[in-house]
């Protein structure tokens, strides 16, 4: 359904990507949910440089994800704690964990279990509709224009370059979410995936939608084919032309995109509103995604979630 030009870049996702679309930001927020608060803890777990970590923490404070609190005076030292806005990213992180558990290589170091301590059972986070409580995937959603349809979006901040670090070269002690960060930890790559969620498959259509340089788009498409998010299919022989179709692994990123969009609608909305509204086909209500326990169906929230690795449990913090 086409209801406005530039659907991918004129909605809440672009604003969320400006705040969250960076590998190191994803890993810093991950570590905050696991209890990290101090600079040295983030430094060890992420494996990034001191300068990069300083820059990202400063941005997260400015964007209202973290608040900074001094804990020593001489020399001054600070703790970084998630705000209400930051804590609202928990469900996004849980769906990222589920994706990672499903699709990361075996032996990748992610927690083998997530335990919901309210019911006492190992759980898989389930993306559900807040109205009818039924599960949600990409086939269950449809779009209608929103109040901001056709509205122009302010020019984005300067994009950071894609990190040269990948899951294969990651040096931090924290291993969770490093594989999904290879894919969504860059501003352009999730936007390219987003065009596929809107039904675009061809290079020219994606480029026109995003206004992206051809070399950047070609680079991101090659990455997504290597990561098995897209499969490349020939649709014309002379000259050769290809379509890029989502695989099951790629379609499974829809929940991550949906939750990011919902978070941005709550916290980063403009007066014009979102350019589109997402509805749940099964109940015909506007989709308000929630993440529930696969065993008892209650919403997942700290401190009732523990990660388990090598028989040791660690609660997600009420930060």
Q: Would you say 191 and 213 are in contact if contact means Cβ atoms under 8 Å apart?
A: no
Tokens encoding 242: 């290809």
- Supply φ then ψ for residue 217, to 5 degrees: -65, -45
Nearest in space to 192 (alpha carbons), one of 178, 210, 166, 208: 210
Please report, in tens digits, the pLDDT of each residue of the chain (319 residues total).
333 344 555 567 778 888 998 999 999 999 999 899 999 999 999 999 999 999 999 999 999 999 999 998 888 899 999 999 999 999 999 999 999 999 988 767 676 688 999 999 999 999 999 999 999 989 899 888 777 665 555 444 555 677 888 998 999 999 889 999 999 999 899 999 999 998 999 999 999 988 889 999 999 999 999 999 999 999 888 888 899 999 999 999 999 999 999 999 899 877 777 778 899 999 999 999 999 999 999 999 888 888 876 556 667 765 4
Residue 304: the pLDDT is: 85
pTM above 0.85, yes or no: yes
Nearest in space to 8 (alpha carbons), one of 188, 229, 128, 185: 188
Q: Would you say 82 and 32 are in contact if contact means Cβ atoms under 8 Å apart?
A: yes
Separation CA 245–CA 225 (nearest Å): 9
In our burial notation (b when 16+ CB lie closer than 10 A, e otherwise), range 196-209 reads bbeebbebeebbeb
3-class SS at 317? coil
Structural domain boundaries in the chain:
12-315
**H-type helices in the chain, by residue range?**
12-20, 23-33, 39-46, 50-62, 84-87, 90-103, 178-184, 188-197, 203-210, 214-226, 248-251, 254-267
For the chain, the farthest-separated pair of C-alpha atoms sits apart, in whole angstroms, at 70
- Cβ contacts of 53 within 8 Å, gap of 6 or more: 24, 28, 39, 42, 43, 46
Tokens encoding 139: 């086939």
Residue 28: the pLDDT is: 98
């Amino acid at each position: 359904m086409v209801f406005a030009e530039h659907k991918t870049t004129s909605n809440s996702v672009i604003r969320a990507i400006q705040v969250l679309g960076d590998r190191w930001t994803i890993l810093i927020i991950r570590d905050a949910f696991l209890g990290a608060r101090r600079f040295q803890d983030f430094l060890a777990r992420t494996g990034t440089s001191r300068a990069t970590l300083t820059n990202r923490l400063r941005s997260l404070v400015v964007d209202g994800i973290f608040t900074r609190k001094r804990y020593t005076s001489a020399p001054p030292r600070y703790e970084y704690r998630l705000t209400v806005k930051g804590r609202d990213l928990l469900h996004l992180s849980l769906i990222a964990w589920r994706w990672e558990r499903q699709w990361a290589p075996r032996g990748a170091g992610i927690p083998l279990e997530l335990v919901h301590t309210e019911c006492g059972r190992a759980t898989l986070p389930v993306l559900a509709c807040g109205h009818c409580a039924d599960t949600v995937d990409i086939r269950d959603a449809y779009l209608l224009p929103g109040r901001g349809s056709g509205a122009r979006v302010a020019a984005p901040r300067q994009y950071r370059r894609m990190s040269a670090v990948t899951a294969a070269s990651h040096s931090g002690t924290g291993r969770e979410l490093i594989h999904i960060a290879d894919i969504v930890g860059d501003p352009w790559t999730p936007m390219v995936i987003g065009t596929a969620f809107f039904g675009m498959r061809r290079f020219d259509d994606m480029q026109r939608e995003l206004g992206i340089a051809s070399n950047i788009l070609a680079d991101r498409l090659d990455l997504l084919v290597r990561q098995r998010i897209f499969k490349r299919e020939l649709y014309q022989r002379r000259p050769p032309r290809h379509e890029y179709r989502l695989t099951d692994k790629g379609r499974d990123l829809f929940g991550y995109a949906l939750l990011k969009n919902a978070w941005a609608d709550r916290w980063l909305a403009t007066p014009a509103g979102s350019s589109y509204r997402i509805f749940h086909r099964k109940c015909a209500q506007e989709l308000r995604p929630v993440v529930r326990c696969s065993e008892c169906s209650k919403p997942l929230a700290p401190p009732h979630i523990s990660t388990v690795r090598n028989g040791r449990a660690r609660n997600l913090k009420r930060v």
